[in-house]
């Protein structure tokens, strides 16, 4: 029997059976609950969500989340090129934004294509076959959305062999992305975690915690916070978002409302003991052996010697041990604190294709100049100390030409 793959684009996660979501996006991946919250969050001005439902001989076997976004060019351009880009933008404002069809999830740190493991085990089709099907369908769909750029967003090393193969046949080029951060929890409690750190990091963290722990703060782990609490959480998140250097997506109050209803979501909250005002929070997802540290909010008016971030972090570590987690994934950006607390940086790569051949060559050349040290000044400092960590993308002769 000839195996026939097909892909249908859907407008909502609810159009895909829950059983398929559960088999394709099990923990530690953000599943149907995550996409449901994004859809309800009134993010229409930023994203258009869509889902590729892949079928084998008419039977659904895989899910490819995707979204469309007008991306600010300056987010990916090396600083040396930015002045030229901005100059062109004064004449052609639309040049500063690139309508892009992303394969992957908005607001997620790592790209993932959900494939029913039973199908792969049966070896009737391969991961390469499914990814090629997605690429071909995405190119057609991107044209419908008038998206000139197609991007496989933030895919980890485990997918690179497949995506490199597609890159040869479909003319994609790799683009280094902001790394994610992952902490492996060793031992049975926070003391074991601290003891597992390198000596210099262990000394600095203990020094800060000695000052942070006596601060007059109450700690609570909250699921389903009330409306007043949600309002305070969003206000703190907004202040932290505005203070950040890199801004890709802006969440809404509705997102916090809907994500709080999902059983995976927990808020680690620090309150001032006297006023009970929230001074910091961390939204974390309980995904069995992994905790995803997703979003934070901090009151920057609080005393600096409270070291609020580190107090919040150690409470997150305590909670992660309590629920039996083995790792904490802490996402992209804000790298100094993550490196200081023992996280490893996880290499992520975008695989891209521009519809216009001339522009494709230009973007491909620019992509070859992008690295961690051009994406983020904190990463540049990190690479000076650890040059062996610099991500390297090995291209074939065909890709280099």
Residues 239-287: tens digit of each pLDDT: 888 876 665 678 999 999 999 999 999 999 999 999 999 999 999 999 9
Nearest to 175 by CA among 29, 347, 385: 347
The phi, psi pair for 147, rounded to 5°, reads: -95, 115
Q: Which has more pLDDT, 292 or 87?
A: 292
Q: What is the pLDDT of residue 397?
A: 45
In eight-state DSSP terms, residue 349 is: E
C-alpha distances in angstroms, 331 versus 110, 189, 277, 295, 387? 9, 22, 27, 9, 21
Mean pLDDT within 178-184? 95
pLDDT of residue 388: 75
Which run of H or E residues covers position 329? strand 327-329
Terminal Cα-to-Cα distance of the chain (whole angstroms) = 39
- Asked whether residue 189 falls in the same domain as residue 320, the answer is yes
Domain that holds residue 171: 5-179+347-400
Place of tokens 């280094």: 176
Regarding whether 189 and 290 lie in a shared domain, the answer is yes
Q: Does the pLDDT of residue 387 top 50, yes or no?
A: yes
Q: C-alpha dihedral over 328, 331, 333, 339, to 10 degrees?
A: 20
322 contact partners, CB below 8 Å, separation of at least 6: none
> Of 323, 345, 367, at which residue does a domain stop?
345
204 contacts: CB under 8 Å, gap ≥ 6: 340
Reply yes or no on whether the pLDDT at 306 is more than 90. Answer: yes
360 and 337, same domain (yes or no): no
Q: Is the pLDDT of residue 145 over 60?
A: yes
The token duo for 271 is 């309150």
The residues, ordered by sequence, that sit 6+ positions from 179 with a Cβ below 8 Å of its Cβ are: 332, 335, 345, 346, 347, 348, 372, 379, 391
Confidence of residue 399 (pLDDT cuts 50, 70, 90): very low
Any idea which residue has 């992957």 for tokens? 104
Which pLDDT does position 164 carry in this prediction? 95
Q: Are residues 147 and 209 in the same domain?
A: no
Rounded Cα distance between 60 and 52, Å, is 10
CB atoms within 10 A of CB 315: 20
Please state, in angstroms and rounded to a whole number, the distance separating the CA atoms of residues 133 and 374: 33
Residue with tokens 């150690």: 314
pLDDT reading at 400 higher than 50: no
Same domain, 335 and 227: yes
Phi/psi of residue 143, nearest 5 degrees: -65, -40
User: Taking a C-beta distance cutoff of 8 angstroms, is the pair 141, 209 a contact?
Assistant: no
Residue 366 has pLDDT above 90, yes or no: no
Residues 201, 71 share a domain: no
Among 302, 322, 345, residue at a domain's last position? 345
Q: Are residues 156 and 75 in the same domain?
A: yes
What per-residue confidence (pLDDT) applies to 374?
84
- The helix or strand, by DSSP H or E, that contains position 365, with its residue range, turns out to be helix 357-367
Is residue 211 domain-shared with residue 237, that is, in the same domain?
yes
Contacts of 140 (CB under 8 A, 6+ apart): none
Tokens at 254, concatenated? 């509705």
pLDDT in tens, 313-362: 999 999 999 999 999 999 888 899 999 999 999 999 999 999 999 989 98
Average pLDDT of every residue of the chain:
91
Burial class (CB in 10 A: 0-12, 13-18, 19+), 384: exposed
Give the position of tokens 């929070």. Answer: 281
* pLDDT class of 2 with cuts at 50, 70, 90: low
Give CA–CA dist 261/224, Å, rounded: 6
Same domain as 291, residue 239: yes
Q: How many domains does the chain have?
A: 2
Mean pLDDT on 4-31: 97
User: By C-alpha distance, which of 292, 262, 268, 258 is closest to 219?
Assistant: 268
Q: Are residues 293 and 361 in the same domain?
A: no
Query: Which residue blocks in 58-159 are alpha helix, DSSP H?
Result: 82-91, 117-122, 127-144
Give the three-state DSSP class for 56: strand
Q: Same structural domain for residues 228 and 355?
A: no
Q: Which residue among 345, 369, 389 closes a domain? A: 345
pLDDT on residue 123:
82
Q: Cβ neighbours of residue 3 under 8 Å, at least 6 residues apart?
A: 56, 57, 124, 125
54-109 pLDDT per residue, tens: 999 999 999 999 999 998 877 656 666 777 777 777 777 667 788 999 999 998 98
CB distance 397 to 390 below 8 Å: no
Task: Report the Cα 153 to chain-centroid distance in Å.
Answer: 9
Residues 204, 69 within the same domain: no
Strands 290-298 and 5-10: unpaired
User: What distance in Å separates the CA atoms of residue 8 and residue 340, rounded to the nearest whole number?
Assistant: 45
Query: Is residue 398's pLDDT more than 50?
Result: no
Q: Is the pLDDT at 393 greater than 80, yes or no?
A: no
Per residue in 189-247, pLDDT tens? Answer: 999 999 999 999 999 999 999 999 999 999 999 999 999 999 999 999 998 888 766 65
**Which tokens belong to 20?**
């398929």
Residue 140 has a CB neighbour count (10 Å cut-off) of: 10
Q: What is the CATH number of the domain that holds 10?
A: 3.40.630.30
Alpha helix positions (H), 145-296: 160-170, 190-196, 199-212, 227-243, 253-259
């Amino acid at each position: 029997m000839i195996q026939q793959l097909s892909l249908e684009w859907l407008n909502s996660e609810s159009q895909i059976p829950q059983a398929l979501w559960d088999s394709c996006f099990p923990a530690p991946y953000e599943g149907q609950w995550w996409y449901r919250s994004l859809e309800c969050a009134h993010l229409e001005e930023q994203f258009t969500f869509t889902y590729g439902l892949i079928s084998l001989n008419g039977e659904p076997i895989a899910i490819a989340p995707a979204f469309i976004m007008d991306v600010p060019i300056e987010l990916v351009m090396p600083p040396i090129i930015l002045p030229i880009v901005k100059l062109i933008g004064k004449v052609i404002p639309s040049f500063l934004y690139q309508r892009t069809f992303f394969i992957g999830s908005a607001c997620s740190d790592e790209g993932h294509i959900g494939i029913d493991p039973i199908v792969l085990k049966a070896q009737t089709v391969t991961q390469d076959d499914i990814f090629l099907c997605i690429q071909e369908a995405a190119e057609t769909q991107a044209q419908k959305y008038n998206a000139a750029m197609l991007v496989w967003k933030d895919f980890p090393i485990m997918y690179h062999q497949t995506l490199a193969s597609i890159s040869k046949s479909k003319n994609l080029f790799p683009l280094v992305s902001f790394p994610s951060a992952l902490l492996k929890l060793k031992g049975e409690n926070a003391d074991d975690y601290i003891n597992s750190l390198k000596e210099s990091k262990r000394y600095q963290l203990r020094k800060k915690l000695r000052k942070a722990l006596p601060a007059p703060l109450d700690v609570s782990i909250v699921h389903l916070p009330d409306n007043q609490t949600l309002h305070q959480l969003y206000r703190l998140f907004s202040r932290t978002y505005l203070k950040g250097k890199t801004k890709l997506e802006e969440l809404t109050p509705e997102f916090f409302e809907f994500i709080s209803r999902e059983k995976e979501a927990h808020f680690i909250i620090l309150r001032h003991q006297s006023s009970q005002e929230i001074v910091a929070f961390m939204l974390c997802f309980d995904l069995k052996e992994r905790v995803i540290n997703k979003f934070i909010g901090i009151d920057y008016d609080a005393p600096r010697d409270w070291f609020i971030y580190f107090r919040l972090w150690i409470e997150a570590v305590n909670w992660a041990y309590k629920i039996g987690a083995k790792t904490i994934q802490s996402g992209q950006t804000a790298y100094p604190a993550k490196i200081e607390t023992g996280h490893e940086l996880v290499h992520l790569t975008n695989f891209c294709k521009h519809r216009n051949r001339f522009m494709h060559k230009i973007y491909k050349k620019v992509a070859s100049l992008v690295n961690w040290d051009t994406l983020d000044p904190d990463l540049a400092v990190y690479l000076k100390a650890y040059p062996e960590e610099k991500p390297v993308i090995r291209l074939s002769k065909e890709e280099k030409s």
